[in-house]
Structure 1
């Protein structure tokens, strides 16, 4: 929305999939197995992203991935959430 200065995204706001057609947003550094969930470590440009993923994720170290937002949170310059 107009006035957005920051986008917030929790695990449920991200769709991370293996890249197709040559386009990738990041690369999987590793998948940390923690029982009923996994921590997915991804490098996106010069930044690191760590999020949760299902225990049966098909992603593995070295996979190129696309990352898409699903209903993220938007914040204005005052730090308040925009609706």
Structure 2
């Protein structure tokens, strides 16, 4: 969650579509379809995203690991 940046797409390509925003008090679960896969992540309680919104998803300081589970420095 802390390594993703999700914003509403304006006029152009999008990475996914919001299926629904599940409001859970101090946080929201954001359910997004990306291609044929489903993504569930946390989002701010005051998010402006809504069902049907096309979104852009970007990595923010991602962590990488090898097959043995060791972190790869980037």
Coarse TM-score class (shorter-chain normalised)? over 0.9
Pairing partner for 1:31 from 13, 17, 21? 21
TM-score (structure 2 length as normaliser):
0.93
CA RMSD, 1 decimal: 0.8
**Is residue 21 from structure 1 mapped to residue 19 from structure 2 by the alignment?**
no
Dislocated runs of 4+, deviation >4 Å:
none
Aligned residues: 73
Q: For residues 36 and 71 of structure 2, what CA distance do their matches in structure 1 show?
A: 27
Structure 2 gaps, min length 5: none
CA offset digits 1:26-46 (Å, max 9, x no partner): 000000000011000000001
Provide the residue aligned with 1:64 in structure 2.
54
Q: For residues 37 and 71 of structure 2, what CA distance do their matches in structure 1 show?
A: 24
Q: For residues 21 and 62 of structure 1, what CA distance do their matches in structure 2 show?
A: 15
| Residue 23 of structure 1: how far off its partner (Å) | 1.0
Structure 1 gaps, min length 5: 1-10
Provide the residue aligned with 1:81 in structure 2.
71
